[in-house]
Structure 1
Amino acid sequence: MMGYGMMGGMMGNNFGGWYFGSFVWQILWLAIIVAVIYILMNSLSSGKKSEDMSLQILKERLARGEISQEEYIKLKDALSRS
């Protein structure tokens, strides 16, 4: 009599250790998906940061008196169009 069903115990417990291996692969795939989403979100939001930085520099120049109110408005409009 063979025991342990049809395979005669060939598979052993946890399918020969593959159960733990599949868990590791699941965690690895999840980490890859999270990393891709993180990279995409950062690349999409980087344009917004540079836009905010340009406007901040423009405001500082106005506050220091380097540019007039009219120049500020013109430059701000130009930044918002680009």
Structure 2
Amino acid sequence: MHFYDGSFGGMHLIWWFIWLALIIWIFFIPTDIPYQRTKEEKPLDILKKRFAKGEISKEEFEESKNLLNSDN
């Protein structure tokens, strides 16, 4: 009783590689998917970004940081 006679055996193996590559691509490749939920930024993170961009001075940064820390 032979269920597998060797014909199209290579094609079956190729399909396994295709499915494996597709699964890896979907779950493990980091991409920026539109409409994807992004993590919510904390106020201190926003403040740090503004300081890094030069939108606020060091004094303003320190004052705002102390104000944010006093609320917690």
**Which structure is richer in relative contact order (CA contacts within 8 A, separation 6 or more)?**
2
